[in-house]
Amino acid sequence: MDVPLDIGLEEAGAVLAAEAARFASFGWMRGTSGNLSVVVSRNPVRLAVTASGLDKGELTAADVVLTDAAGAAVGAGRPSAEAALHARVVRLTGAGAVVHVHTVAAVAMGGRRPGGIEFEGLEMLKGLGYRTHDVAVVLPVIGNSQDMAELGDRLEAALRPGMPAVVVAGHGLYVWGDDPRQARHRTEVVEWLLELALTG
């Protein structure tokens, strides 16, 4: 491989396999749904993305595909169909890792609040980087599309400062962070908020 990696592809695959197993155990990546990515190089931009069509609870370190800054495969393998959106999030936000899960709460709340989901006065907001619970924030909701360029445009238009997540109506949740651990923590926090909103 002639691509200079900041971390090895196998190492990235092992990390993503462990993260996927965790999310699958929560029921957030049922069947073969959902996908994860981590940036393995910044110059040039390269992402390790979970391979398409695999059970996310059974991934191995080899079940990732290297992609370029547009989400196209570099070398062998077929990445998730949504790799292009992962790459777009990385370009827009500088994220080091992106999580996409299909949770019941995200789909349900995206349908109930198509204009965005507001949260206010909750201690858990600190888990998204807010300094105090005494804030009101909006989690954006965007319409779904099978066209990743169109979906990426919608995501870009909906981005809000300080909010590292977006709900795709009828589909699921995208969350990002500096690295896989932060992306995981933020995903768990956003899902908690969505579950709370669902009970209201």
CB 107 within 8 A of CB 38: no
Tens of each residue's pLDDT in the chain, 200 residues: 334 457 789 999 999 999 999 999 999 999 999 999 999 999 999 999 999 999 999 999 999 999 999 999 998 888 888 999 999 999 999 999 999 999 999 999 999 999 999 999 999 999 999 988 888 999 999 999 999 999 999 999 999 999 999 999 999 999 999 999 999 999 999 999 999 999 98
Domain boundaries, the chain: 9-199
**Of 142, 88, 79, 137, which Cα lies nearest the Cα of 113?**
142
Model confidence pTM above 0.75: yes
Q: Under CATH, which number does the domain 9-199 receive? A: 3.40.225.10
